[in-house]
Structure 1
Amino acid sequence: MKSGLRTTAVRSLRIKGRFYSTNSGSTITTNSVQTIQGIEKFPNNSTIFSLIQPTGKIHIGNYLGAINSWKELSEVESEGTKYLFGTADLHAITQTIDAKILKQYRMEAIASLISSGLNPEKCILFHQSAVPEHSELNWYLTCITSMGMLNRMTQWKSKAHQDQTSSIFEEKVLEQTKAGLLCYPVLQAADILIYKSTHVPVGDDQSQHLELTRNLAQSFNHIYKTKFFPMPKTLLTPAKKILSLRNPLKKMSKSDVDQSSCIYVTESSEEISKKIRKATTDSIQGKIYYDPVGRPGVSNLINIISGLTKKSIDETVVDLQWINDHKQLKDHVTELIVEEFKEKRHMYDQLLNDVAYLDKICQQGRDKAREIASDNIKQIRGIIGLD
């Protein structure tokens, strides 16, 4: 099996902080939250689903936190299992964006997914907005979602620039928050459930939304006395959150005013080298060690190395014992990133120059996704009484 998913006869699987041993080729059927690392086989006829917002070029945080894991998962062979990945372009408009820019972002996102290793012949690649069944199921689920559940979500508060202690029932917060931003977790649940997804790879920041998805699936099944929706499992990506190169106290972001803080998959080796040289470290000399609180900059670079080499933080630190100063560390990180993205950057450029091919992939993905979604929505209408 490629990409390190099957390297030994016995692997260690981390679930909610505990470790379980799994025999080679065994099927993982444990709790609702598990890490991707160690998965060697899905139950037959599983559906693995995840989307990424089309916000322009993919940076290394997106790559290590999502796309690289999608690629690995799509290489896990299980009979009858479907893989659906694409752009969450309906989610992208919760904040105003120019139409031409959004269209370009959508195309760049698909090109980034393919150039990062996703094979259109192994998985379904599509734009969320091309499958109207997402929006239909969104309404059905909205009707059984309480305002209290939405208010407890944390992501909308961050995106609306509100304190985590804020409440939608406060007049000032209510006036400043768009309904789409508050309600988008329900659309996210609809995205997942319209395909009866069984496994959803996400980062830590989306775990709360997956819990809401399971709650809504359970509520629907209970209200309509059915077992239609499965309980989708959260697959946590093993990569640590990648932080800003210039300010390692905050998350790496494309919207950062200082673009030296962010490395894109499509950048040249010269650009990558320049940004890593400028990366914030510290004044501590000697051996490299991992300490996110005391050494956030150095620890962020260690996280990047860990993600690229697919090794744990502890293993990575041991491997870095030959490094004696920050320059050696930065040179090593630069070499790894440049090598990882070299071919991907070339393919990305080729894809963007072949819009007809990208359109064809999206159309094929749309048709395959709609075939699944339309069959499910017909059954959902029947369960509700709208057939």
Structure 2
Amino acid sequence: GILECLFFFGSDLRTPGLMLRYDGHAPEADRMAGGGARLAVLAVAAATFAAGLCGALVTAGPHAALHQTASPTALRPPVHAVLGQGPGLIPRAAPLRAGPSDSRALPHTATHPRVSVGPAAPGPDAAPAPMRGAALAVAGAALVAVLSGLARYLRAPTPAAARHAWQMCGAAADVEAAEGTAATATAPAEPEAARPTRPPRVLSGVQPTGTLTLGNYLGAIKQWVDLQNDPDNTSDSLFCVVDLHAITAPHDPKALAQQTRQAAAVYLAAGLDPEKVTIFVQSHVRAHSELAWLLTCATPMGWMNRMIQFKEKSQKLGEDVSLGLYSYPVLMAADILLYQTDLVPVGSDQTQHIELTRDVARRFNQQYAKKMKKITKKSRVFREPKAMIVKEGARVMSLLDGTSKMSKSAENDNSRINLLDPPNVIRNKFKRCKTDSFVGMEWDNPERPECTNLLTIYSAVTGKSKEEVMEECKDMNWGTFKPLVADAVIAHLEPIQTRYEEIMAQPEYLDSVLAAGAAKANEIAERTLKDAYAAMGYLARPEAE
């Protein structure tokens, strides 16, 4: 009963004293599982309560003296002599006799169907008070569990929302499973007809600093294009150039604007269609900065101290590390929450940011939205997003170190393949990339990370499966395999580079795409920002004429 009580309160209120945290997908399913699971838990709690109450009544009732004798041998026969005298039964005249370990005997009345026993002096083994206290404690804890569980059951979402939650938890990377809306833990039950029916929303972006690399393309942009072109995809996708994140580290102000335009052009050249998805620049939607400040003031510093990527990046920057780099996970949370995002395509190394975003949303909803329901007419401001893990093989490592991620900010340009590198440069970089002395090609050998990296690149750009690649390349040496990978990368990037040059030659077209995307993004973002301001108690802005 106590554990059930802690489960109900800890998972709902998230108070510091009862912080029963369940990260990942399973807790969301628990919070939204609906009637069946809650009724089962309530039944168990009710049974526990009944058992505890009966135990309390028995230990505190008129037969408590049975528990006060010196030892079990002191009653002979306890059942026949005392409890066996029910109404309508022939009274048993056999008196109770004290056992050899005790000289005392219980009084017995043979003419009455029940023996009236007065309180006896407790023997050395007697413990009636602890037994009654334990039984009452179990009953009380179970009663609290029943009441708290009943409250949660009354607030449970509809069965349709529960089914949707289980689908989302079972396959976070499956966009089709995200149809409908994912209610948060703090959202009350709503009539089915009142729920919005918009498709699930997807949001992602890439920083424009430096030239985008093959790693950016295979790990992010190509994944977006595949999602866009999936015939079963019903999502509403937004992809932005996150230029606000670009200034968390030292950057070149003269190059930032041009790099932003280049990144947007790469989005289009890679295959993103502005008729199907929304493409915009982060700083063109001012709500990103405003919401980031509101969330910064509502997020504990301890959460920031646990972020792994800040520790890694700050070591590289040394004295140049900024407060913006420290708090940029909150800006990332604002980016996601601003659009009521359902799914965020990320790599396995970025799931910590999504968990932080969920925590920030949950805390904000609990602290502000529920208290301001009369003003906002809503019990939540933000949805809690889920991570959509990109498919295996999308992570590309450095050409000079197979254990480090390919980065556009690395000092040595030979460590990466830039998307706009000409063919001869690409060939030279692969020719100089790090190799080993092993014979043949093999995948997933921890002693050969560079071999695994090049096999991964070759598989990604050719579309061949892991088995097909191994069958083709297992007996090759490095002198044969590296040119094969270089030619495959050149062939894959050639149409992208051609389309990129065409887009950059039409600045009006690029500007129109970004302007239309910013307008649509602003429309969504302003609604969320307005609710966030209202929940925190700000004076409403005058309506624009």
The alignment partner of 1:235 has SS state of strand
Q: Which residue of 2 aligns with 1:370?
A: 522
Shift of the 346–186 alpha-carbon distance from structure 1 to 2, 3 Å rule, reads same
Q: Is the 1:248–1:300 Cα contact (8 Å) retained in structure 2?
A: yes
The one-letter amino acid of 1:50's match is: S
Counterpart CA distance in 1 for 2:204 and 2:505 is 26
Change in Cα spacing, 1:39 to 1:320, as seen in structure 2 (3 Å) is farther
Equivalent in the alignment of 2:212: 58
> Are residues 1:218 and 2:362 paired?
yes
* Cα drift, residue 315 of structure 1: 5.3
Partner Cα distance (1:331, 1:80) in 2: 40
Structure 2 gaps, min length 5: 1-23, 26-163, 181-198, 371-378, 541-545
Deviations 1:290-311 (CA, angstroms, capped at 9, x unpaired) = 1352112211101112322445
- 1:240 Cα deviation from its structure 2 partner: 4.2
> Paired residue for 1:187, among 331, 340, 348?
331
**Native 8 Å contact 1:42 1:76 kept in 2:** no
Instruction: Select 1:200's aligned residue among 344, 362, 376.
Output: 344
Q: Is the contact made by 2:240 and 2:282 (CA closer than 8 Å) also made in structure 1?
A: yes
Shift in Å at residue 250 of structure 1? 2.2
Kept in 2: contact 1:33–1:234 (CA 8 A) = no
For residue 230 of structure 1, report the CA deviation from its aligned partner: 1.8
For residues 60-103 of structure 1, give each alpha carbon's deviation from its aligned partner in whole angstroms, at most 9, with x where no partner exists. Answer: 11011100111111224578731100111111111232222101
Match of 1:250 in 2: 404
Structure 1: give runs of 5+ residues left out of the alignment.
1-14, 17-26, 164-172
Structure 1 window deviating more from structure 2 (357-366 vs 328-337): it is 328-337
Q: Distance in 2 between matches of 1:119 and 1:75?
A: 9
Do the aligned partners of 1:46 and 1:80 also contact (CA within 8 Å) in 2?
Answer: yes
Is residue 91 of structure 1 aligned with residue 245 of structure 2? Answer: yes
Query: Over alpha carbons, which structure has the higher Rg?
Result: 2
Note if 1:262 corresponds to 2:406: no
Partner of 1:229: 382
Distance 1:236 1:319, change over 3 A: farther
Q: 1:71 to 1:80 in 2, by over 3 A?
A: closer
CA distance in 1, matches of 2:428, 2:316: 35
Say which SS state the counterpart of residue 50 (structure 1) adopts. strand
Distance 1:355 1:133 in 2: 26
**In 1, Cα distance between the equivalents of 2:358 and 2:171?**
11
Q: Is the contact made by 1:204 and 1:236 (CA closer than 8 Å) also made in structure 2? A: yes
Provide the aligned length of Structure 1 versus Structure 2: 350
Distance 1:337 1:176, change over 3 A: closer
C-alpha distance after superposition, 1:357-385 (max 9, x if no partner): 21111111111100111122222223333
| Pair 1:292–1:144, CA change in 2 (3 A) | farther
Structure ranking higher in strand proportion: 1
Question: 1:313: Cα distance to partner?
Answer: 4.1
Q: Which residue of 2 aligns with 1:299?
A: 452
**1:73-112 equivalent positions in 2, closer than 5 A:** 73-76=227-230, 81-112=235-266
SS of the residue aligned with 1:85?
strand
For residue 29 of structure 1, give the secondary structure of its aligned residue in structure 2.
Answer: helix
Q: TM-score, normalised by structure 2?
A: 0.60
Corresponding residue of 1:20:
none
Residue in 2 that maps onto 1:358: 510
TM-score w.r.t. length of structure 1: 0.83
Summarize the Cα distance change of 1:341–1:123 in structure 2 as closer, same or farther, 3 Å threshold. Answer: same
Q: Which moved more, 1:367-376 or 1:39-48?
A: 39-48
